[in-house]
Chain A
């Protein structure tokens, strides 16, 4: 302690004439000299909190009492549902994984990846994915290699790599109708090419099976009505249209924001698709084992009734140029693996990708079927003989709602464009997170803008699933949320949306309830997509006659 003594031995202290009282007071002052600093800190913190609270009050209107339904796991005693899989291509494989089944080779690959990179948790996620109480009893694919893979995936009940213990193998059926006739199948997952969707779904309903049908719901317009009436007359069979974005929390919050009128009157919705790689443009790899012996081309061609409906429309509308160009009965590996590139099997950008955008907006705004659709575009980039355009713009008018929805797509640029719902008072950008930006000319928020509480043009409200973040949340929080880093932190676990959508379907089968994307939502979406497609093909505006429920040309 000598040093302190030295330091404090200031000249005055050494002066013996200084009186004790004065020194004591001075010492006391030195001790408590910094206490006022704490007072200043307290005052600063108080002022800052007060300012934040004012902003919070302004953000209060964006607070919602209702929570999005919490996640509830499937009980271990739930009834086991016996599922048949029709189609084990790219999407079929993903759907099987959503159900908890993958080939040992696939699992082995995941194990290998996690070994190479410990940050890769896909293997762990897959193993830990909840057991949905499903048994795969039947599979059908018209390409032998895919069918065998589906059998192995269905048997891999312990989700193990190569050399693991397999369960009993599901039976492989060569024709989907044989699978539908199997008594040990309660429900089917259909992931075939578009031109088979409606037919297979209708046959499945007729066979008394619950149906999970990948979007788009139908390939031709006439089958859309037929499927709807068949599903309506079989309400005990649960029909779910496969849309993996039905379980996105942010959409539910977006709906609430609009319902409260926080955006003001909405006049324009902008959506789109941007992709920029061959895979995204449907140029999928051709399997080395594929040949006329391993592929049942006859079955691939399609259902004769459907083909007739397709040809009737194409011929009567003068669209023969879009048919083919190759003959339907001619075996073609390109057409088998890349069928989305030809109208003969495909529904194009409308059926494949517009449907996602429309479904998102239909969930949030309950748009229903548009009053009209106009489209333009062309095959501008992928000059590979395809008939389906790679650039497409479709404008949907909702006359009764007094708003327009624009869909704009290119398969040759990956530039990121957010979905925007534009209102008179604010614009909302919708993705996995929501951002609301107040309009400078807003009337609803005029006072708040004048008070400086709301800064127009800057994101005012951000919603991150599981947590409400507003104008006062830190830039850090938003930063991490936008990059998806926050999700695992907030909910502890990220869920695969395909898994959630399948889970909902299975729960509805067990409880006898209706799923979120049932036949009526499916019908609205299918008609909307068909209107967009027809507008493109015919080069003129298509209208919806609400009373007659028909697509018309004027």
Chain B
């Protein structure tokens, strides 16, 4: 069920009404039931898998909590890691591993007989697996109590706004909210609705509008000039951002309607001044997860290596971020590329600081944002293409004679420009707190109603209603 579809809207309306009509003690059950329905609508065959994962992790956490000795706790931890990662590898990476193994064997024998599996990826598996692993590690470390209620834990995993595409929630944020009694709040309803509307704007007006142009260019890249390719590459970054952050806004807004506050996933990443800064602002729930459960433990363990320990931790962490996105060489390369950029930034920090003192601050910041955007845009070619070879072809096509900029219709470009400008200005405004409306206007409910009504009307005028699925669903 896509967040921008009519079935989801009807589903949300029905669940919300029931939620506030039902007695408080039944609301969690309703949310679990609704989440199962939501998940089942996308692929009922994997309902049992997610239920198994819930029960398994619930009992493992209880086991860790009850075990007094470190050894017994470790057994539970490693068993949990093996099962969670095992399931993820089986569904997401096995065909990739076997395929590459077959290729490797093909170097030595003519027709290697390796059974190739083509499994459908259970929706949200990458998100809930990481969430569960984080929870188990927290319980193991003693920073989180094991959840006593299986109902609460089920809702922690299943809560439908974040089930399919995150954010990858932390137990310390969501579990206390699940335990707490929820009361009807008009503020939650209004703020949640505003957030959902903004998410719709990002997805329908910006991301899907850009997608029309970018898809058309990438599919026929061999027929386009360098200038058109460059524009498509630069726009794709905006598309991915608007698509994923739009999804997150809808998820956060939907959760807010039920009184839950999910963690933020973005903090104006396109205004990052370097790649490290970018990863602190982009898909925060994933990057902070990797920071807490991979980067910090590895760099701590390798602290005797000095800087090399940090480089090693960066390399492992970001390669895993790449692999998390999918089972292709492109995603692995994407991760490696990010780690190399971060290693470069770490090793040249002092030198860059020295240079920055010689250049006016605004010029330095502007150039830093530009270079970071360019780096991310070129790295994202690996997201858009299926193989490293095709990514190279795209890069090569930049050298084709520029020719005319391929623009199908002026109106399409106008819609695209307006959508992108609103998104960028909004990010810029909240990042630098540049200007705000006069108090009388900003706080007037009539003015606010008009503003949101116009936004909704603009979505109807300029939104792309057939854009389909969110990009991050595939991960």
Chain B associates with chain A: no
